[in-house]
Structure 1
Amino acid sequence: MDVLIPSDDSEPAMKAVEHTVREYPDAALTLLHVIDPSIGAYGEGGVYAYDSLLEVRREAVDELLENAAEIAADHDGSVERETVVGSPGNEIVAVAESKDVDHIVVGSHGRSGASRVLLGSVAERVVRRASVPVMIVR
Protein backbone atom coordinates (compact mmCIF):
# COMPACT_ATOMS: atom_id res chain seq x y z
CA MET A 1 0.00 0.00 0.00
CA ASP A 2 1.22 3.51 -0.88
CA VAL A 3 0.02 6.46 1.21
CA LEU A 4 0.51 10.15 0.46
CA ILE A 5 0.66 12.58 3.40
CA PRO A 6 0.50 16.26 2.39
CA SER A 7 2.25 18.22 5.11
CA ASP A 8 2.70 21.78 6.26
CA ASP A 9 3.87 23.02 9.64
CA SER A 10 0.44 22.75 11.27
CA GLU A 11 -0.49 20.56 14.21
CA PRO A 12 -3.17 18.67 12.23
CA ALA A 13 -0.60 17.84 9.54
CA MET A 14 1.78 16.41 12.12
CA LYS A 15 -1.09 14.43 13.66
CA ALA A 16 -1.82 13.07 10.18
CA VAL A 17 1.77 11.80 10.01
CA GLU A 18 1.45 10.12 13.41
CA HIS A 19 -1.90 8.60 12.52
CA THR A 20 -0.64 7.27 9.20
CA VAL A 21 2.44 5.63 10.68
CA ARG A 22 0.33 3.95 13.36
CA GLU A 23 -2.50 2.82 11.05
CA TYR A 24 -0.39 1.80 8.05
CA PRO A 25 2.89 0.49 9.54
CA ASP A 26 3.83 -1.52 6.44
CA ALA A 27 2.84 1.09 3.85
CA ALA A 28 5.21 3.05 1.64
CA LEU A 29 4.73 6.62 2.88
CA THR A 30 5.38 9.82 0.97
CA LEU A 31 5.44 13.18 2.74
CA LEU A 32 4.51 15.93 0.31
CA HIS A 33 4.84 19.66 0.75
CA VAL A 34 3.47 22.04 -1.85
CA ILE A 35 5.06 25.47 -2.06
CA ASP A 36 2.30 27.85 -3.10
CA PRO A 37 4.04 30.62 -5.06
CA SER A 38 0.98 32.87 -4.87
CA ILE A 39 1.24 33.27 -1.09
CA GLY A 40 3.59 36.10 -0.33
CA ALA A 41 4.65 36.59 -3.94
CA TYR A 42 3.87 40.29 -3.76
CA GLY A 43 5.48 40.93 -0.38
CA GLU A 44 9.20 41.24 0.22
CA GLY A 45 9.81 42.19 -3.44
CA GLY A 46 8.53 38.76 -4.43
CA VAL A 47 7.73 39.67 -8.02
CA TYR A 48 11.35 40.67 -8.60
CA ALA A 49 12.96 37.98 -6.49
CA TYR A 50 10.71 35.03 -7.31
CA ASP A 51 13.51 32.47 -7.65
CA SER A 52 15.22 33.48 -4.44
CA LEU A 53 11.86 33.51 -2.62
CA LEU A 54 11.23 29.93 -3.78
CA GLU A 55 14.72 28.91 -2.68
CA VAL A 56 14.13 30.31 0.82
CA ARG A 57 10.85 28.42 1.00
CA ARG A 58 12.50 25.19 -0.18
CA GLU A 59 15.07 25.49 2.62
CA ALA A 60 12.29 25.96 5.19
CA VAL A 61 10.47 22.95 3.74
CA ASP A 62 13.53 20.76 4.26
CA GLU A 63 13.32 21.43 7.99
CA LEU A 64 9.55 20.94 8.06
CA LEU A 65 9.78 17.58 6.27
CA GLU A 66 12.64 16.55 8.55
CA ASN A 67 10.42 17.21 11.58
CA ALA A 68 7.63 15.12 10.05
CA ALA A 69 10.10 12.34 9.20
CA GLU A 70 11.26 12.34 12.83
CA ILE A 71 7.66 11.86 13.96
CA ALA A 72 7.42 8.86 11.63
CA ALA A 73 10.74 7.50 12.92
CA ASP A 74 9.49 7.81 16.51
CA HIS A 75 6.81 5.28 15.49
CA ASP A 76 9.31 3.06 13.63
CA GLY A 77 8.19 4.35 10.23
CA SER A 78 10.13 5.77 7.34
CA VAL A 79 9.04 8.15 4.65
CA GLU A 80 10.00 9.41 1.23
CA ARG A 81 9.96 13.22 0.95
CA GLU A 82 8.80 15.27 -2.00
CA THR A 83 8.36 19.00 -2.61
CA VAL A 84 6.52 20.57 -5.53
CA VAL A 85 5.54 24.11 -6.46
CA GLY A 86 1.98 25.02 -7.39
CA SER A 87 -1.58 25.23 -6.13
CA PRO A 88 -1.75 22.89 -3.10
CA GLY A 89 -5.08 21.19 -3.80
CA ASN A 90 -4.26 20.59 -7.45
CA GLU A 91 -0.70 19.44 -6.80
CA ILE A 92 -1.69 16.99 -4.06
CA VAL A 93 -4.17 15.31 -6.39
CA ALA A 94 -1.67 15.34 -9.28
CA VAL A 95 1.09 13.77 -7.18
CA ALA A 96 -1.34 11.15 -5.85
CA GLU A 97 -2.22 10.22 -9.43
CA SER A 98 1.35 10.24 -10.74
CA LYS A 99 2.61 8.09 -7.85
CA ASP A 100 -0.45 5.81 -8.08
CA VAL A 101 -1.06 5.99 -4.31
CA ASP A 102 -3.77 3.97 -2.65
CA HIS A 103 -4.71 6.48 0.02
CA ILE A 104 -4.22 10.14 1.04
CA VAL A 105 -4.10 11.20 4.70
CA VAL A 106 -4.34 14.95 5.25
CA GLY A 107 -4.63 17.24 8.28
CA SER A 108 -8.01 18.91 8.68
CA HIS A 109 -6.64 22.42 8.26
CA GLY A 110 -3.40 24.33 8.19
CA ARG A 111 -2.27 27.37 10.04
CA SER A 112 -4.44 29.80 11.95
CA GLY A 113 -6.25 32.92 10.77
CA ALA A 114 -6.77 33.55 7.07
CA SER A 115 -4.35 30.75 6.18
CA ARG A 116 -6.47 28.32 8.20
CA VAL A 117 -9.46 29.02 5.97
CA LEU A 118 -7.34 28.66 2.84
CA LEU A 119 -5.63 25.45 3.90
CA GLY A 120 -8.88 23.99 5.23
CA SER A 121 -10.20 24.47 1.73
CA VAL A 122 -7.19 22.51 0.44
CA ALA A 123 -8.33 19.43 2.37
CA GLU A 124 -11.82 19.92 0.97
CA ARG A 125 -10.50 20.25 -2.58
CA VAL A 126 -8.46 17.08 -2.21
CA VAL A 127 -11.49 15.17 -0.92
CA ARG A 128 -13.59 16.35 -3.86
CA ARG A 129 -11.00 15.73 -6.60
CA ALA A 130 -8.95 12.72 -5.51
CA SER A 131 -9.62 9.39 -7.19
CA VAL A 132 -8.46 7.47 -4.10
CA PRO A 133 -9.81 7.42 -0.53
CA VAL A 134 -8.89 10.47 1.55
CA MET A 135 -8.76 10.46 5.33
CA ILE A 136 -8.86 13.79 7.16
CA VAL A 137 -7.19 13.85 10.56
CA ARG A 138 -8.18 16.49 13.11
Structure 2
Amino acid sequence: MDDSETARRALEHALEVFPDAEITVVHAVDDLEAAYGGGPAIPDAGGREDEPDFFADVRDLAAARGHGGDVETAVVEGTPADAVLEHAREGDADAIVMGSEGRSGVSRVLLGSVAEAVTRRASIPVTIVP
Protein backbone atom coordinates (compact mmCIF):
# COMPACT_ATOMS: atom_id res chain seq x y z
CA MET A 1 0.00 0.00 0.00
CA ASP A 2 1.47 3.29 -1.05
CA ASP A 3 -1.63 5.51 -0.81
CA SER A 4 -2.09 5.51 -4.57
CA GLU A 5 -5.44 5.02 -6.26
CA THR A 6 -4.36 1.66 -7.68
CA ALA A 7 -3.31 0.47 -4.22
CA ARG A 8 -6.72 1.46 -2.88
CA ARG A 9 -8.43 -0.47 -5.68
CA ALA A 10 -6.25 -3.48 -4.85
CA LEU A 11 -7.38 -3.28 -1.21
CA GLU A 12 -11.02 -3.02 -2.28
CA HIS A 13 -10.53 -6.07 -4.51
CA ALA A 14 -8.92 -8.07 -1.69
CA LEU A 15 -11.75 -7.16 0.69
CA GLU A 16 -14.31 -8.29 -1.89
CA VAL A 17 -12.61 -11.51 -3.00
CA PHE A 18 -11.46 -12.56 0.47
CA PRO A 19 -14.34 -11.35 2.68
CA ASP A 20 -13.46 -13.42 5.76
CA ALA A 21 -9.70 -13.76 5.34
CA GLU A 22 -6.98 -12.26 7.47
CA ILE A 23 -5.57 -9.44 5.34
CA THR A 24 -2.29 -7.68 6.00
CA VAL A 25 -1.81 -4.33 4.30
CA VAL A 26 1.91 -3.76 3.83
CA HIS A 27 3.60 -0.41 3.25
CA ALA A 28 7.17 -0.88 2.01
CA VAL A 29 9.60 1.93 2.71
CA ASP A 30 12.46 1.86 0.22
CA ASP A 31 15.55 2.12 2.42
CA LEU A 32 17.60 3.71 -0.37
CA GLU A 33 15.02 6.39 -1.15
CA ALA A 34 14.53 7.12 2.54
CA ALA A 35 18.28 7.44 3.08
CA TYR A 36 18.66 9.86 0.18
CA GLY A 37 15.63 11.81 1.39
CA GLY A 38 17.34 12.44 4.71
CA GLY A 39 14.51 11.08 6.86
CA PRO A 40 14.13 7.91 8.86
CA ALA A 41 13.42 4.82 6.78
CA ILE A 42 10.75 3.40 9.08
CA PRO A 43 8.82 5.23 11.75
CA ASP A 44 9.96 4.42 15.28
CA ALA A 45 8.23 1.35 16.62
CA GLY A 46 5.71 2.76 19.00
CA GLY A 47 2.23 2.11 17.77
CA ARG A 48 -0.32 3.58 15.43
CA GLU A 49 0.79 7.15 15.98
CA ASP A 50 3.96 6.28 14.01
CA GLU A 51 2.25 4.59 11.06
CA PRO A 52 1.41 6.21 7.72
CA ASP A 53 -1.74 8.35 7.88
CA PHE A 54 -3.44 6.28 5.18
CA PHE A 55 -3.52 3.18 7.41
CA ALA A 56 -6.48 4.76 9.23
CA ASP A 57 -8.24 4.90 5.84
CA VAL A 58 -7.41 1.21 5.33
CA ARG A 59 -9.16 0.26 8.57
CA ASP A 60 -12.10 2.57 7.81
CA LEU A 61 -12.54 1.04 4.34
CA ALA A 62 -12.46 -2.51 5.75
CA ALA A 63 -15.05 -1.59 8.38
CA ALA A 64 -17.27 0.14 5.82
CA ARG A 65 -17.13 -2.94 3.59
CA GLY A 66 -18.12 -5.15 6.51
CA HIS A 67 -14.96 -7.23 6.21
CA GLY A 68 -15.35 -10.24 8.48
CA GLY A 69 -11.67 -11.07 8.88
CA ASP A 70 -8.83 -9.29 10.57
CA VAL A 71 -7.13 -6.42 8.74
CA GLU A 72 -3.59 -5.89 9.99
CA THR A 73 -1.10 -3.27 8.87
CA ALA A 74 2.66 -3.46 8.62
CA VAL A 75 5.47 -1.12 7.63
CA VAL A 76 8.51 -2.92 6.23
CA GLU A 77 11.86 -1.65 5.05
CA GLY A 78 13.84 -2.58 1.99
CA THR A 79 13.55 -2.63 -1.74
CA PRO A 80 9.74 -2.70 -2.09
CA ALA A 81 9.49 -5.94 -4.08
CA ASP A 82 11.94 -7.73 -1.78
CA ALA A 83 10.22 -6.39 1.34
CA VAL A 84 6.75 -7.43 0.14
CA LEU A 85 7.93 -10.91 -0.84
CA GLU A 86 9.79 -11.42 2.43
CA HIS A 87 6.80 -10.28 4.47
CA ALA A 88 4.54 -12.65 2.52
CA ARG A 89 6.95 -15.56 3.11
CA GLU A 90 7.38 -14.84 6.81
CA GLY A 91 3.64 -14.37 7.29
CA ASP A 92 2.85 -17.57 5.40
CA ALA A 93 0.58 -15.63 3.02
CA ASP A 94 -1.66 -17.50 0.61
CA ALA A 95 -1.79 -14.72 -2.00
CA ILE A 96 -0.62 -11.19 -2.78
CA VAL A 97 -2.97 -8.53 -4.13
CA MET A 98 -1.42 -5.27 -5.26
CA GLY A 99 -1.99 -2.29 -7.51
CA SER A 100 -0.50 -2.24 -10.97
CA GLU A 101 1.47 0.91 -10.32
CA GLY A 102 2.26 3.28 -7.54
CA ARG A 103 5.41 4.99 -8.58
CA SER A 104 5.47 7.51 -11.35
CA GLY A 105 7.99 9.36 -13.44
CA VAL A 106 11.73 8.78 -13.41
CA SER A 107 11.67 6.72 -10.20
CA ARG A 108 9.49 4.06 -11.82
CA VAL A 109 11.54 3.99 -15.03
CA LEU A 110 14.85 3.68 -13.21
CA LEU A 111 13.78 1.29 -10.49
CA GLY A 112 11.32 -0.83 -12.46
CA SER A 113 7.82 -1.91 -11.59
CA VAL A 114 7.37 -3.31 -8.10
CA ALA A 115 4.28 -5.22 -9.26
CA GLU A 116 6.23 -6.79 -12.10
CA ALA A 117 9.10 -7.83 -9.83
CA VAL A 118 6.74 -9.32 -7.25
CA THR A 119 4.82 -11.20 -9.94
CA ARG A 120 7.99 -12.66 -11.46
CA ARG A 121 9.47 -13.81 -8.17
CA ALA A 122 6.52 -14.83 -6.00
CA SER A 123 5.92 -18.46 -5.15
CA ILE A 124 2.23 -17.78 -4.37
CA PRO A 125 -0.54 -16.37 -6.57
CA VAL A 126 -0.30 -12.63 -7.26
CA THR A 127 -3.27 -10.57 -8.39
CA ILE A 128 -2.47 -7.23 -10.01
CA VAL A 129 -5.33 -4.74 -9.92
CA PRO A 130 -5.27 -1.94 -12.54
Matched position secondary structure for 2:27: strand
Distance 1:40 1:99, change over 3 A: closer
Distance 1:80 1:119, change over 3 A: farther
Check conservation: 2:6, 2:99, Cα contact below 8 A. yes
CA offset digits 1:58-91 (Å, max 9, x no partner): 9674312221222222211241111111110001
Matched position secondary structure for 2:97: strand
The RMSD of aligned alpha carbons is 2.4
Question: Which has the larger share of strand?
Answer: 1
**Residue 55 of structure 1 pairs with residue 43 of structure 2:** yes
Aligned residue among 30, 55, 60 for 1:70: 60
Q: Which runs of 5+ in 1 are unaligned?
A: 1-6
Distance 1:76 1:28, change over 3 A: same
> What is the total number of aligned residue pairs between the two structures?
125
Structure 2 distance, partners of 1:59, 1:91, is 22
Structure 1 distance, partners of 2:120, 2:34, is 26
TM-score (norm 2): 0.83
Query: Partner of 2:10 in structure 1?
Result: 16
Check conservation: 2:97, 2:126, Cα contact below 8 A. yes
What amino acid sits opposite 1:38 in the alignment?
Answer: L
Structure 1 stretches (4+) deviating beyond 6 angstroms?
none
TM-score (norm 1): 0.79
Aligned residue among 57, 71, 77 for 1:79: 71
Equivalent pairs: percent with the same residue?
A: 46
